[in-house]
Structure 1
Amino acid sequence: MSMSSVIDTLRDRLAPASGAARWCVALSGGLDSTVLLHGLQQLAREFDYVSLRAVHVHHGLHTDADDWTARCRSLCRDLDVPLEVRRVDVDLDSGQGTEAAARRARYAAFESLLDEGELLLTAHHAQDQVETVLLRLLRGAGVKGLGAIAVRSRFGRGWLVRPLLSLGRPELEACARDHALRWIEDPTNRDTDLDRNYLRHDVIPALRLRWPGMDASIGRTARLAAEAQELLHALAAQDALTVMNGKLIALRRLRELDGSRQRNLLRYVLQQRDIAPPSELQISGGLEQLLTAREDRNPVLRWPGGQVRRYRDNLYVLEDDPEQLADAGPDTIQWDGHEPLALGAIRGRLTIERLAGEPSGLNVRFRRGGERLLEADHAHHQRLKKMFQARGVVPWMRAHVPLLFQDEELLAVGDLWLSSEFATRLGEGARIRWEGHADPF
């Protein structure tokens, strides 16, 4: 295959994105990304408005990683393409396996450097698609997973584009050899202890002997699955119009859907919040519990990275667990009231605006139980627990609402309530603000 044929393919794939002025190539230095960079470097000359650059991620996992980085620098210098090298820390204790953890770190680096509207171009080809579909099929994926590798998708502030997906590795290798290109051979690509390599070297060649047209068939299955997923996405978006109550899922309306649409809607909401979903078994069992538990219960569906909680008539989809994310700190925080007080990602920041005088003994605490507040226009102290319930503050956030004391007297509960005396003491124009915290309602 000639380089001109590769460029023709790139031109066709990038035509829908012809208005994008910035292209960023994910460069490993291997065969596929080397061919991609050469092709794009030549194609970019046709578009004088295009700015082309490359990024190489150094995972620090292989003894030759520094040599690979040097090779990428040399290649980009020869082609006069700016290169950015990103070093990442791969979380080997995540339980995902080395390959998946490295991929996660790599794409996090890509996302962080992508500019608004920029295209991230990767060198995935037809054989990558076959391997991905088979891997996901063996892991029990649904239609979204079987849709496998999309040609184009939203990514960070820009787009992820895979313009070589219609070409096979043999075609790319023929192009590279015909043009005397040099590339890196990663020895780990031969390690059949890794699932993808086992499929690539041992399983797929045997399948092709029996079914020579399997690559095209699997590619067709992936396209059909992607179309089916688009329909499910559209159905969920339609259901969301009637079931969603702002950011919350209204239980009564959710119960009006059949089980498959309930699960489809939950997956849709998780995707909209950029939360990785739990397993299909967890979704089915968890939804059943959330929908059928007694009214006096507050059931929770938890999984690494997300959770769904029920409170009263709604389901709350949360990215993290407030009980685990609350910043550990002293039980009592002394405060002069004049500077904003940072309390952490969940608990936010407390500020008193236009505070007069120099109040002494101010301190911030969190619930221990039994707190009472004499609110303005009330004759008697009220239990804080009852006030939270009446206001609809969700149970899992009640322990994270900052309580402002002066010595042992409760003056304010976040910016939700002030004591009668403190409201008078603040005076006209002064106010307390609680900001940057997780939503308590």
Structure 2
Amino acid sequence: MDLSARLLARLAPWRDAPAWRIAFSGGLDSTVLLHLLARLAKREALPPLSAIHIHHGLQAAADAWPQHCQKVCADLGVPLQVRHVQVATSASLERAAREARYAAFIESLADAEVLLTAQHRDDQAETLLFRLLRGAGVRGLAGMPNSRPLGRGWLLRPLLECSRAELEAYAHEQGLSWVEDPSNHDTQFSRNYLRHQVLPQLTAHWPQAVVTLARSAAHLREAQGLLDELAELDLAGAQTPSAFPWLPLPSLALEPLLALSAARQRNALRHWLAPLTLLPDSEHWAGWEDLRDAAVGAAPIWRLAQGELRRADGRLWWLSGDWLQKDPQALPWRDCKQPLTLPGNGCLRLQGRGPTGELQVRYRQGGEVLLLPGRGHRDLKRLLNEARLPAFVRGRLPLLYCADELLAVANLPGLHGPAEGRWQLIWQPPTNDQRLS
């Protein structure tokens, strides 16, 4: 079966997608993918095709690539979008460039659209070797999946079963032109070293090394699928609703996890954390043990790449985004008929006919008291303890004052407004996702 037929078969489940977007660097691999799809589109009913070129600006040679990509796309009749990105200074330039590139892809994808990238079997073998040398676990050694969610759409790698040699042969046969990235030959970069120094030595002794390495990655993907199924079973008992349905944070009940072996705990947490953050290496899992085994009255924190895992009142809570910012500041509320945006802390509104007077939103400093009918003045700290509100929420919980009198505590029944129910103080907390806050 030729490349076109194999590509079409790979993409068959995605023929109803609203659009196919091609990640087009201008290099050989993505040029072959673009050419194949443009030819298929002339005889097949495919979703609308377009290309995206990410310009990192990391080297002078790259300044000419957008113009080259424009010409190739114009010749093939494929619209092109050029996105300029800033690459953060990082110890790993490869990783920083990749993160910037995929952030731009995510911003470019609309609902259910598909991004097609041109990684092939040799790339899969390099990925397995690279991650093996970094001490990756099963999830990392499973290599690159054929498809995965990306932003509001999907990422597909339809050429993963094809070799680099096949793509090169097609490019020469079709007379294609492409750009050569000078950095691809710089063996200071780990992947380039594997590609130019290690894999040639392996294939000289084991000619099928690339094929067998890619096959091993497939076996490990299957093993990871079984581990994911086990994780789902183990998490089922822990994914109970919290006592605070208004708190929009991922959380788990701790007790069901404690009944599992240590290995199954780690497997379940890896599965749960994978959509939320980069996963820690084996040494940093000591942070989970410290959090798990801390004294009952403690408030332990496990800091990870994109956020923090906290333990409070028998639950694990994931915090990121605005939840990691400093404590919010007091604000006047001049018109309580209108919702009040709390910078970095969501939104506040009054339900019902609110109080009059000079209102202000404040936050806990210590020593606050609230007048409750039939109970007199009660210490706020004790009231929050009675409500079993997680400690990390208490410093962000809006308090409504008139002059120096505490009138209400947002969202907590019995504390969020007068007993007769004329009005209630409703807080919409920030989400973990900065874009959704």
Give the TM-score taking structure 1 as reference length: 0.90
Structure 1 position 263 matched with structure 2 position 266: yes
Amino acid corresponding to residue 411 of structure 2 in structure 1: D
CA distance in 1, matches of 2:58, 2:374: 65
Q: 1:393 to 1:102 in 2, by over 3 A?
A: same
Structure 1 position 387 matched with structure 2 position 383: yes
Shift of residue 133 of structure 1?
A: 0.6
Q: 1:14 to 1:368 in 2, by over 3 A?
A: same
User: Is the 1:146–1:222 Cα contact (8 Å) retained in structure 2?
Assistant: yes
After superposing the two structures, state which structure 1 stretch, 287-296 or 173-182, moved more: 287-296
Shift of residue 355 of structure 1?
A: 3.9
Partner of 2:149: 154
Partner of 1:435: 428
Shift of residue 20 of structure 1?
A: 2.8
Partner of 1:65: 62
Q: Secondary structure at the match of 1:302?
A: strand
Aligned pairs for 1:42-53 within 5 A: 42-53=39-50
Shift of residue 412 of structure 1?
A: 1.4
CA distance in 2, matches of 1:6, 1:419: 67
Shift of residue 152 of structure 1?
A: 1.9
Shift of residue 200 of structure 1?
A: 1.0
Structure 1 position 125 matched with structure 2 position 120: yes
Q: 1:301 to 1:155 in 2, by over 3 A?
A: same
Listed one character per residue, the Cα deviations across residues 191-216 of structure 1 (whole Å, up to 9, x for unaligned) are 11111111111121112222222111
CA distance in 1, matches of 2:352, 2:237: 44
Percent identity of the aligned residues? 41
Shift of residue 51 of structure 1?
A: 0.9
CA distance in 1, matches of 2:174, 2:331: 70
Aligned pairs for 1:233-312 within 5 A: 233-246=228-241, 247-271=250-274, 273-283=275-285, 285-312=286-313
Q: What is the number of equivalent residue pairs in this alignment? A: 424
CA distance in 1, matches of 2:328, 2:101: 31
CA distance in 2, matches of 1:415, 1:314: 20
Amino acid corresponding to residue 205 of structure 1 in structure 2: P
User: Is the 2:322–2:431 Cα contact (8 Å) retained in structure 1?
Assistant: no
Within the candidate set 403, 407, 418, 2:403 is matched to 407
Q: 1:169 to 1:122 in 2, by over 3 A?
A: same
CA distance in 1, matches of 2:361, 2:328: 14
Listed one character per residue, the Cα deviations across residues 388-429 of structure 1 (whole Å, up to 9, x for unaligned) are 111111101101111111111111112326779x727xx865
CA distance in 2, matches of 1:87, 1:333: 41
Q: 1:328 to 1:352 in 2, by over 3 A?
A: closer
Structure 2, unmatched stretches of 5+, are 242-249, 433-437
Listed one character per residue, the Cα deviations across residues 143-184 of structure 1 (whole Å, up to 9, x for unaligned) are 111111112222222221111112222221121112111100
User: Is the 2:287–2:302 Cα contact (8 Å) retained in structure 1?
Assistant: yes
Shift of residue 62 of structure 1?
A: 1.9
Over the aligned positions, Cα root-mean-square deviation in angstroms equals 2.2
Give the TM-score taking structure 2 as reference length: 0.91
Amino acid corresponding to residue 291 of structure 2 in structure 1: L
Structure 1 runs (4+) deviating above 3 angstroms are 326-329, 331-336, 353-357, 417-420, 427-431, 436-439
Partner of 2:392: 396
Structure 1, unmatched stretches of 5+, are none
Shift of residue 69 of structure 1?
A: 0.7
Q: 1:164 to 1:353 in 2, by over 3 A?
A: same
Shift of residue 17 of structure 1?
A: 2.5
CA distance in 1, matches of 2:194, 2:343: 46
CA distance in 2, matches of 1:204, 1:296: 54
Amino acid corresponding to residue 314 of structure 2 in structure 1: D
User: Is the 1:24–1:53 Cα contact (8 Å) retained in structure 2?
Assistant: yes
Aligned pairs for 1:221-240 within 5 A: 221-240=216-235
Aligned pairs for 1:92-241 within 5 A: 92=89, 95=90, 97-241=92-236
Shift of residue 49 of structure 1?
A: 4.6
Q: Secondary structure at the match of 2:395?
A: helix
User: Is the 1:307–1:321 Cα contact (8 Å) retained in structure 2?
Assistant: no
Q: Secondary structure at the match of 1:102?
A: helix
Partner of 1:18: 15
Amino acid corresponding to residue 318 of structure 1 in structure 2: L
CA distance in 2, matches of 1:408, 1:327: 20
Shift of residue 354 of structure 1?
A: 4.9
CA distance in 2, matches of 1:115, 1:131: 31
CA distance in 1, matches of 2:300, 2:351: 39
